[in-house]
Amino acid sequence: MIELLGATKRFGARCAVDRLDLEVRPGELFAFLGPNGAGKTTSIKMICGLLSPTSGEARVGGRPSSSPEARRLLGYVPDQPYLYDKLTGREFLRFVVEMHDIESRRAERRILELIETFEMGDFIDELCENYSQGMKQRVVFASALVHDPKALVVDEPLVGLDPRSARIVKDLFVSQARAGCAVLMSTHLLSIAEELADRIGIVDHGRMLAVGGLAELRERLQHEGPLEDLFLKLTDDRRAGAKPASNGVAP
């Protein structure tokens, strides 16, 4: 459902993403890990059609990711979400469903479901300018799901959420994936990846260092410790200029 095929993105002389291959299948929850500046957000922006690859391809549902058809399939929660200050949360959700041309009765039903799921009933009719960070984040999540996307891309999903909201979001990722949605989440919280992800991709300097299930990665890297140790081992090796492993882990 979500594909990067040899995607490279150059900003002048700097290569932010280097021949990256990535696939997230329907029903899969994929965690995208990497240190700061590794190229995660650039990759996500290519998937969402906000940046076009310098070479290679980014596709959603088999369509080029910059096409309106691909955007209809996609729900996106950026690392710095945007809300209109002078709209209420409900008006914002209505705007999103109108942009996706969803039939009004079905849209209203869906909005009510999401208000209930994210427990937004107390504030959904206030202007967004009065929301706290957590309230904003919940509205943004609802807006990414209101059109029933086939692919959900989330950059740093738990920033600004209280433990209860974080729990809701985590459950939601799992339920979306189980319902057939391809979920790609980029995060620094390794525990979330460890807890939720079907597969994990570790990226650094724009290149995929390793990809696979947690058990698979442990086996390949011959490392039995927690994901944090595994992550640090991979990225530290890379910084130290170690040669790529010959055990199936990508250079």
Residues 59-118 that bind other proteins (CB under 8 A): 61-63, 66-69, 71-74, 76, 78, 80, 82, 84, 86-88, 91, 95-96, 98-101, 106, 113, 116-117
Q: Does 36 bind other proteins (CB under 8 A)?
A: no
> What residues are paired with 59 via a beta bridge?
3, 64
93 and 110 Cβ atoms separated by less than 8 Å: no
Q: Which stretch binds other proteins (CB under 8 A): 45-53, 190-198, 207-215, 231-239?
A: 45-53
Rounded Cα gap, residues 120 and 86, in angstroms: 17
> What residues are paired with 75 via a beta bridge?
152
Q: Which one, 45 or 138, has the nearer CB to other proteins?
A: 45
Q: Does 9 bind other proteins (CB under 8 A)?
A: yes
Report how many residues bind other proteins under the rule CB under 8 A.
53
Q: Does 11 bind other proteins (CB under 8 A)?
A: yes
Chain center to CA of 224: 27
Compute the radius of gyration of the chain from its Cα atoms.
Answer: 19
Q: Does 129 bind other proteins (CB under 8 A)?
A: yes
- Give the DSSP per-residue string, 64-86: ETTSHHHHHHEEEE-SS----TT
Q: Which of 5, 21, 25, 50 binds other proteins (CB under 8 A)?
A: 50
For residue 29, give Cα distances in angstroms to 48, 51, 61, 182, 248. Answer: 17, 23, 16, 6, 22
Residues 195-234 that bind other proteins (CB under 8 A): none
Supply the DSSP symbol for 243.
P
Least Å distance, CB 84 to other proteins, is 6
Reduced to 3 states, what is the DSSP secondary structure of residue 41? Answer: helix
Residues that bind other proteins (CB under 8 A): 9-12, 14, 45, 48-52, 61-63, 66-69, 71-74, 76, 78, 80, 82, 84, 86-88, 91, 95-96, 98-101, 106, 113, 116-117, 127, 129, 145, 148-150, 172, 175-176, 179-181
